């Protein structure tokens, strides 16, 4: 597999897959963890050069990488809360994903999920601060939950929110445990285990803090949902 | 410490502590796990002989032990769901403990907690089948939660119920994780971790399936609560 | 919450929720673990009496419970591989779920997922014995994967199959780890962790051996997918 | 749920719950972890503006946040050992909580518990340096233990102190494991497990280092205790 | 290493080491777990034939193996509580080991430790039922603790007893965690971790339920202690 | 064992083993973790002085240590990606090891393995970026896998690559889990468990990130392979 | 993939892969766990019918399955210690694998490894009872270790034997942890971790009790070793 | 317990126990972790003022604390390798403890153990760099092992050294696991588990990196050993 392979671009420090969209219908994504700001900029630019017509997403960016992208690629959209950036036009959304978060500390993960949904072609409805210790706030948004084609439910600590939401509605639901907590939260493992053991049927789970993965799944579900 | 010690009774296979009541105000208790039916009967009889005036509690009894107690001590009260028995009159209750259970599978642990509360001198209000996947059932009993002097909340699987109850009321709350579940429930560890990480403040937790321990704590709280 | 509540039926040993279908669009389900054969039969009969027009599902049945259901409810459909039974007509399927299994030992979990999908209103395409150690078998069914509206991918041991399938297609995918394995498989935890860490984006995961939960999620996704 | 909701105050970076007191009888609390000093100051000020008549508590403050609070809110009371601050008058205490600590390293957690108790309306009796390796110090304060309406017992390392205290008295007891230790203490998990397995009945447990949670539970118990 | 090796006896199913005594000064020991009753009898007989003058120890014997030894080797001494047997005369004891146990459930492990000490040449002082929830019983035997040359302290559940004993005396102490407990005791891991984290200096620990290992260490210490 | 022992060189801070090559046929190796740059230089120089004719390897070097080696020993070969250096001529290779890596983040571990193979006397064929989410890249190099005498397969996250490679070929295979991942990857434990449970027979595993250990094993296998 | 696929034989309850030998050079293997005796017999017979000229291996057989194979396939060779059977002629061995076991309890795993080696085409040298607590026995067989082309080293409990053997020789070494042990051995995890952390370079590891996997790897190495 | 208690000295930030020596025969010890350099100096000075005639030990000192002690207390003896200091004359040694270490990385823990032994009244024989991968070095010091009254054996990684030493001699042995290692060493847990599962009888274990605890136990054993 030489650098002449038209399906990849060899940047020296990385070989960029140029045909994921063809294979899965999803946009290209740069996982920023462990990459220098310059590397992030270079990969974003390369992917964008090949596909001006659709957005590229970069996630898990350090503050330095966010700065570098903002300076080098002024047309990029920076999302500091999501620690992410996009380059190129977002697709016209099909279907809607409601991104539900338990507390303010879960906001970065929820923001990553929401941006991922938008880049992957679905509309987003953000519902924040509806933790289970204040049920009235959650019950007040029940119709927005029902109106979505897929739900992403983000929670740390005891991870109870997906169970409560899953008891209120039959919309497909992806739960995202966050590393918010301390002591016996074990870096998010407590919330992860709780979500895997939910008594509400049909809840599926992604890795701790993996807003991106939840967003990809939810957007795929929403995109293929029939209009109602 | 010879067998002449008036504070203990030496049965050969066990040395029975006869003055726990004096020291802590609680009744004597026989932990049945690992004991033969005959041993359970013998210890119950010994304790009862010393203290006719108050109840003795035996927990974690096998079906054989429950049978043996029923045959040998016809005046004993058998509670098959709680896998427990009492011998001697229950105390007049002071204060009330609401014992709340998420699902029918949690019933044995809730029953053990309830019987323990009664033996330790408080009244019991049982609230069953109010799991978080069906919130309307829980919201319907909110006034009973508020009316209690202490709550014991029993749940397996994701262990979310204490967080939801703890968000509804400020009554002192003891959470009991149960071993109900499979796979990543890890024998109740998932529920235990969830309860320890509850976002609702003031929730305390006991060991997995430890309805007895929760009942002791709750009864002690209820007994000293001022009448309202 | 009295037994007069029209939303529940009180059988003494269980309070049966009669309106889950109204709330979530899903059928009633009896979780058989920890219930006696007679209890399973009684709950199935009660639920069926209320809703003759649609199927009720009973899962995690022991061989004795399967026998009892077969004798007492001859119109029930018994699925020994799935350790499950249904009573009442299956709904007309909408959309298709492909249930993909790595090895023959994973068959019970795959069968539970497949039956759950059918009871929840989607068509099933079973693809078995396509473990990653023999890639040619998986590559030969690539078009069937693409034709589905949702995928359920079942694997034990190292749990690698979802990652490989997720790299081949962008169809929404739910991974089910099984407890197949020994030693450091830790009862399925190895496969669970692998699936949570998949390098293929958009994979979501359910509890170990939870074919039922995966089936519910997948059927919900398939049911709302637009016809293609 | 718009920012017009009278039950919350939207500060942009956080939505502050203004009616917890009405719902649970407890004061408002700011959890400082992950918040900037300016955010802590802003939330404290907002909550205090609404409720001049009662104290607001801020916990888990960094040294910088403690400084910022001291400078911006000179009427605030700073407790450096507890890493916490209060703003507004403490309530008149009802009942007494004894906060018992094993070693000097456990002091920050004990201080957090003690301040929480005071803010939540009970009196505090601090008993320090009574670890189980020097029993004479603990036995010397037995009457103070008995005089309390609830006990908070703080210990790291092997977490044995609650068992010993629980054997001396029948006062309701909340155990707090701390992360004091190294190696196989596993960040406090060893002490947590020990406390959950205590042989003394009626001991309940909170998360590692969670002096706040223990203080809330204990104050609730003490507040409703009948005067003796 | 042929079967002619004078240092070993080849019984077909096992090769028996005949010179451990020469190498370490300790008696031969048969670990009975996983061996048939006939194999246990055969190994005991072989070792005894070589060394009539000193005792051989067999541990972890099933009830069947205990019966078989009793019938086939009538001169053997059976200790049912320790699940062990000895064949041949016990050595004249040098020094004393106090074997201290927290509860009656710990008795089998304490008995194994005590018999091991005796077979390895030291005298035994058994101190039972001195758990930390009843300190007065422990304080009453303080002089017996001081009089020993080494202590073996056996406890399950929270494993607190060694810390308390270690604070009372400077005698060398070996702690033995037992698997007594349930739920979060994790089969004795909770007690093991507690003992490893003891705040009392100089405590050493052996594997869960390993009364034999503790007995060997303690007897070696006591044997070489100078008479006082 | 005095410093006069001709088999070791005592540098004060370390005693260097000079005869490993004689004992195992392998070169001397300096494990750089926890050593100062000056210590690394000193040990490399000492080993090189004794054995000018063959290479010495230093692994796990910090950037400072790599710099120090480059300045002090200009004839050393620095491999920044492998965080390693060699001094002295590499041996003439016998046999070939293919070092296969899943993603660019796994490159440092793969580079350490490759350099180790070369220093231990085998030729290296590097195959990068062939993760299981893009099977076509792996299938394109199938003949290079078959041509090797031993395979080292490096992967993080779900660790699925060794299973897929192991299903394609019967060449001896060593799997190396890396710590690449987050959340439930548990620092590489997820990949380690996956590899230990591989459904492809004959896969062996080394510690997380242990490219060195895998390289030693693979080179030993390749060196003794008969020419084909 | 129909049952007409010439590469597989569909037995109804299993689809048997008939071309593994062509793909990897290894014989067909039946993993007996979870299969009925009749199923084991049927698969063995089918595989043997296709390949009379070479052996088929069945592992993890229950006593009932071993009996059934012995009765139904009298020409099969039964190995009760390995809990395995072979059908068809063993290949002429190329190269030698030394299978080294620490204790008699490790014998079943060592026997499985040895039989696997033989079926996969290498000669076996069994070295038993050379645990690290009796080093003289191991040192006495040092030349047999050196004479092998690959080593399989089997040990339970603390798993130290591979480190000691790996320090004596540079022959490629595969370590097999066994589940022999109790308490903190955690079912073999202690030995597994020890082997993964060996201080002797070049040691690779397989799953707990996986004698089969170690045998496959070792035979592949030995088969391609050049004659010496 | 007022500051007037003659058994303690209240320094404001700590209450110093002045009578441990009377109670256990051991010197006072300052555990430096979490204390400022000034606090360490103050406590050392206070303890020394009360007991000029015997040494005080301070362990786990940071480099800053070591410097501060050296400057403020010039008569103190600083041991940088052990990260410890002593003040006051060491006792005349009784009996001998051999402190055995596997590798150079284990030196800090071995040094802490050795200094602790000396302060607690026994002579020390240091034996370094005798890891199991080079058995000849260990076998060469066998007589020094036999000559000791107690052994402290320090090892990280796979923790095999105590098993090998324990097979060579019957001297009482304390094993100390260290946190030396990476990946699956889990911060020393691998070595800890290995030592707890040693196949050599009579080995006892302390917490990870706890050279101090091992030294206290060993010195107590050696001090009471009869002269030989």
The nearest alpha carbon in chain C to B183 belongs to C208
pLDDT classification of G149: cutoffs 50, 70, 90: very high
pLDDT of B24 > 80? The answer is no
Q: Which residues sit opposite H8 in a β-bridge?
A: H17
Cα–Cα distance between D212 and D111 in angstroms, integer?
9
Q: How many cross-chain Cβ pairs, E to G, lie less than 8 Å apart? A: 30
- Kindly report the three-state secondary structure assignment for every residue of chain E: CCCCCCCEEECCCCEEECCHHHHHCCCCEEECCCCCHHHHHHHHHHHHHHCCCCCEEEECCCHHHHHHHHHHCCCCEEECCCCEEEECCCCCCCCEEEEEECCHHHHHHHHHHHHHHHHCCCEEEEECCCCHHHHHHHHCCHHHHHHCCEEEEEECCCCCHHHHHHHHCCCCEEEEECCCCCHHHHHHHHHHHHHHCCCCCCEEECCCCCHHHHHHHHHHHHHCECCC
F164 by DSSP, 3-state: which? helix
Chains D and F touch (3+ CB pairs under 8 A): no
Q: Give me the DSSP letters along H63-77.
A: HHHHHHHHHH-TTSE
pLDDT classification of D149: cutoffs 50, 70, 90: very high
Which residue is associated with the tokens 């962008």?
Answer: C170
CB C168 within 8 A of CB C182: no
pLDDT of B4 > 60? The answer is no
Mean pLDDT for C81-99 is 97
- Note whether E134 contacts B: Cβ–Cβ < 8 A: yes
* Cβ-Cβ contacts under 8 Å, G169 against chain H: none
- Note whether F74 contacts G: Cβ–Cβ < 8 A: no
pLDDT of F198 > 80? The answer is yes
**Strands in H143-183 per DSSP E:** 150-155, 173-177
- Note whether A215 contacts B: Cβ–Cβ < 8 A: no
Mean pLDDT for A141-154 is 97
CB G34 within 8 A of CB G64: no
In chain A, which ranges are continuous DSSP H helix? 20-24, 37-50, 63-72, 107-119, 135-139, 142-147, 161-168, 189-196, 211-223
Cα–Cα distance between E211 and E117 in angstroms, integer?
10
More confident call, H86 vs C2: H86
The nearest alpha carbon in chain B to A131 belongs to B199
pLDDT of residue H2: 39
* Cβ-Cβ contacts under 8 Å, F129 against chain A: 15
Cα–Cα distance between H1 and E184 in angstroms, integer?
35
pLDDT of residue E53: 86
Mutation site for H-interface testing, chosen from E91, E224, E226, E228 by largest number of H Cβ within 10 Å: E224
What lies within 8 Å, CB to CB, of A105 at 6+ separation is A156, A178, A180, D34
Mean pLDDT for H196-217 is 97
Cα–Cα distance between B222 and D226 in angstroms, integer?
10
pLDDT of C73 > 90? The answer is yes
CB B16 within 8 A of CB B35: no
- Note whether B182 contacts C: Cβ–Cβ < 8 A: yes
Cα–Cα distance between D207 and D216 in angstroms, integer?
13
* Weakly modelled stretches of chain E, pLDDT under 50: 1-3
Residue of G96, G97, G112, G107 lying closest to G130 (CA atoms): G107
Q: What is the pLDDT of residues C103-141, one digit of tens each?
A: 989 999 999 999 999 999 999 999 999 999 888 899 999
Residue of G180, C188, C168 lying closest to F131 (CA atoms): C168
Cα–Cα distance between C224 and C149 in angstroms, integer?
9
Residue of A13, A18, A61 lying closest to A39 (CA atoms): A13
Structure tokens at A133: 């210790």
In chain F, which ranges are continuous DSSP H helix? 20-24, 37-50, 63-72, 107-119, 135-139, 142-147, 161-168, 189-196, 211-223
pLDDT of B2 > 50? The answer is no
pLDDT of G130 > 70? The answer is yes
pLDDT classification of D134: cutoffs 50, 70, 90: confident
Residue of D212, A197, A185 lying closest to B193 (CA atoms): A185
Cβ neighbours around B67 below 10 Å, total: 13
More confident call, F104 vs G154: G154
Q: What is the pLDDT of residues A103-113, one digit of tens each?
A: 989 999 999 99
Q: Give me the DSSP letters along C115-182.
A: HHHHHTT-EEEEE----GGGHHHHHTTHHHHHH-SEEEEEE-TT--HHHHHHHH--S-EEEEE-----
Q: What is the pLDDT of residues H88-107, one digit of tens each?
A: 999 999 999 999 999 989 99
CB A209 within 8 A of CB A179: yes
Cα–Cα distance between B73 and B79 in angstroms, integer?
14
Interface pTM (ipTM) of the complex? 0.93
CA dist list (Å): D81 to D105, D111, D153? 11, 6, 17
Mean pLDDT for C189-217 is 97
H135 by DSSP, 3-state: which? helix
Question: Closest partner residue to H217 among E24, E197, E202, by Cβ?
Answer: E202
What lies within 8 Å, CB to CB, of E14 at 6+ separation is E35, E39, E43, G104
* G167–H134 CB contact, under 8 Å: yes
Mean pLDDT for F189-198 is 97
pLDDT of A4 > 60? The answer is no
More confident call, E57 vs G13: E57
Residue of D118, D106, D102, D98 lying closest to D81 (CA atoms): D106
* Cβ-Cβ contacts under 8 Å, F131 against chain C: 167, 199
Q: What is the pLDDT of residues G69-93, one digit of tens each?
A: 999 999 999 999 999 999 999 999 9
Cα–Cα distance between G170 and G150 in angstroms, integer?
10
Mean pLDDT for A178-190 is 95
Residue of B227, B228, B224, B221 lying closest to B97 (CA atoms): B221
Give the minimum alpha-carbon distance from G98 to chain E in angstroms, rounded to a whole number.
15
Residue of F163, F162, F148 lying closest to F218 (CA atoms): F148
CB G122 within 8 A of CB G219: yes
User: Residue D100 — φ and ψ, nearest 5°?
Assistant: -110, 130
Cα–Cα distance between E42 and B4 in angstroms, integer?
45
pLDDT of C149 > 70? The answer is yes
- CB burial string G203-219: b at 16+ within 10 A, e below: bbbbbbbbbbbbbbbbb
pLDDT of residue G53: 87
pLDDT of residue D124: 98
CA dist list (Å): C127 to C78, C215, C228, G17? 21, 15, 21, 16
Cα–Cα distance between D1 and D5 in angstroms, integer?
6
Q: What is the DSSP letter of B225?
A: B
pLDDT of residue A19: 64
pLDDT classification of H211: cutoffs 50, 70, 90: very high
CB D115 within 8 A of CB D138: no
Residue of G154, G192, G197 lying closest to G173 (CA atoms): G154
Which helix (H) or strand (E) segment holds residue D217: the answer is: helix D211-223
Q: What is the DSSP letter of H14?
A: -
Mean pLDDT for G96-117 is 96
pLDDT of residue C142: 95
Percent pLDDT > 70 in chain H is 90
The nearest alpha carbon in chain G to F145 belongs to G24
Instruction: Average the pLDDT over each of B165-174, C9-18, G213-222 and give the range with the smallest value.
Output: C9-18
Mutation site for C-interface testing, chosen from F131, F135, F163 by largest number of C Cβ within 10 Å: F163
Cα–Cα distance between B54 and B88 in angstroms, integer?
5
* G184–E189 CB contact, under 8 Å: yes
Cα–Cα distance between C227 and H20 in angstroms, integer?
81
CB B148 within 8 A of CB B183: no
Which residue is associated with the tokens 């009492």?
Answer: B86
The nearest alpha carbon in chain F to C161 belongs to F160
pLDDT of residue A21: 63
Distance of CA A74 to the CA centre of its chain: 23
Q: Torsion over CA of A39, A41, A42 and A46, rounded to 10 degrees?
A: 140
């Amino acid at each position: 597999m030489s650098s002449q392979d038209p399906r990849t671009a060899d940047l020296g420090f990385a070989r960029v897959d140029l045909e994921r969209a063809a294979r899965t219908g999803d946009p290209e994504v740069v996982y920023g963890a462990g990459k220098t700001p310059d590397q992030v900029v270079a990969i974003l630019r390369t992917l964008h050069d090949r596909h001006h017509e659709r957005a590229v997403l970069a996630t898990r960016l350090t503050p330095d990488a966010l700065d570098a992208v903002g300076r080098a690629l002024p047309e990029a959209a920076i999302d500091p809360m999501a620690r992410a950036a996009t380059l190129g036009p977002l697709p016209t959304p099909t279907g809607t994903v409601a991104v539900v978060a338990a507390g303010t500390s879960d906001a970065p993960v929820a923001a990553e999920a929401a941006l991922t949904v938008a880049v992957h072609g679905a509309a987003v409805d953000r519902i924040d601060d509806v933790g289970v210790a204040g049920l009235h706030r959650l019950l007040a948004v029940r119709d927005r939950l029902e109106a979505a084609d897929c739900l992403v439910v983000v929670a740390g600590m005891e991870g109870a929110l997906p169970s409560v939401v899953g008891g209120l509605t039959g919309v497909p639901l992806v739960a995202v445990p966050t590393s918010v907590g301390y002591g016996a939260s074990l870096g998010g493992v407590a919330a992860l285990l709780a979500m895997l053991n939910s008594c509400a049927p049909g809840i599926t789970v992604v890795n701790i803090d993996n807003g991106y993965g939840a967003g990809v799944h939810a957007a795929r579900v929403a995109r293929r949902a029939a209009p109602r």
